[in-house]
Amino acid sequence: MQTEFFCHELELVERLNLLRASNSSLKLFGLIDGTVDNPGLEQFFLLAPEADYEPLFLETEFAACLPYSPYLFAIDPADEAFLQQWGCWAEHQIIWWLSSWPLHQQARHWRSLIHVLTPDLDPTLFRFWDSQVLSPIVRQCTLAERQLLLAPCHTFIAPHLSRQWWIWHNPSPDIPPAEKDSPWWQMQAHHLKDFASAFERLLVDEIEDHLWRTEPAHLSRIYPPHLPLLMQQGTRQARALGLQHEQALRCFVQCQIRFGSQYWQNESLTPLWQQADQRDTRFLVWSQQALAAHTERHV
């Protein structure tokens, strides 16, 4: 059996039926994003009124948000009108999986993932109930990482583009991991690969907003459609020189706007680029001093 593949939404119900027929211990579970107004949640309660479910924000620090919450649910054959009439369509963004774990045990696992660690070990909220967040991350995980993150899943099914589902079969399913204190899962840089272009657009927008507030006279002399390209080129050059932190990237571009795009080639800055230790911090000190001195001379 292939470990991962795509299937058209019209094939999903049949594939699920075949998988469950081959293993009677498997039950169908799903996840709906109820943190926003989602018609899928209304359809779930309408079409599967007897189905078991748990709001994942229950018994967490977000309990005050209820009824807004991600909802974990189990679908029995009697409740499959929801799958056939609503849940099988990829555009509705429901996450599905087959598992032999009981609902309460799965709820503990998913609640333990509400907070995770960033690559820099900072705790952060993980919106795994949003398929557009979870699915790209899962696809970038190694096999061992997938098996930890999706521990309850025998077969994992997530929306992919228009009218398609991405399906992954766990080669070693249903092995309950040891209980872990949250946050225990750490995001790695490679998990975020599919978000890189979106992160870059956000960074460029933030830099442009900052520069319109700090350098309006200089920006007004640049043809507006060229600004995003200039800032993308600036952040690319800054990273090539070893700068990483967002504030350092922003200051690098600000210095380009103020001093010219090739200012970084000045011989006085050569030691800064050659010394890797605390490069961002040392550049921020230099840039702030240089910008302040330039401002004083032109007041």
Q: Which pLDDT band holds residue 119 (cuts at 50, 70, 90)?
A: confident
Which pLDDT score is estimated for 176? 67
Question: How is 236-255 classified by DSSP, letter by letter?
Answer: HHHHHTT--SHHHHHHHHHH
pLDDT at 131 over 60: yes
pLDDT at 1 over 90: no
Which pLDDT score is estimated for 71? 98
Contact 12, 28 (CB under 8 A): no
CA distances from 209 to 187, 217, 221, 290 (A): 29, 14, 16, 21
The region of weakest confidence among 121-130, 168-177, 181-190, 214-223 is 168-177
Burial class (CB in 10 A: 0-12, 13-18, 19+), 175: exposed
CA–CA gap between residue 52 and residue 71 (Å, rounded): 10
Contact 151, 176 (CB under 8 A): yes
CA distances from 225 to 90, 221, 230 (A): 36, 12, 10
Query: 94: left (phi > 0), else alpha (psi -120 to 50), else beta?
Result: beta
Mean pLDDT value across residues 121-143: 93
Q: Per residue in 136-151, pLDDT tens?
A: 999 999 999 999 999 9
Contact 215, 258 (CB under 8 A): yes
What rounded mean pLDDT belongs to the chain?
A: 90
pLDDT at 2 over 60: no
Within 10 angstroms of residue 121's Cβ, the number of other Cβ atoms is: 9
Which pLDDT score is estimated for 5? 82
Residues in the chain: 299
pLDDT at 249 over 70: yes
Q: Per residue in 104-115, pLDDT tens?
A: 999 999 999 999
pLDDT at 8 over 60: yes
Which pLDDT score is estimated for 53? 97
Helix (H, G, I), strand (E, B) or coil at 7: strand
pLDDT at 178 over 70: no
CA distances from 159 to 8, 41, 100, 258 (A): 10, 17, 22, 46
Q: Per residue in 62-96, pLDDT tens?
A: 999 999 999 999 998 888 899 999 999 988 999 99
Which pLDDT score is estimated for 150? 94
Q: Which pLDDT band holds residue 256 (cuts at 50, 70, 90)?
A: very high
pTM: 0.72
| H or E segment to which residue 116 belongs | strand 115-117
Which pLDDT score is estimated for 211? 92
Q: Per residue in 206-240, pLDDT tens?
A: 899 999 999 999 999 998 888 889 999 999 999 99
Mean pLDDT value across residues 150-162: 90
Which pLDDT score is estimated for 174? 64
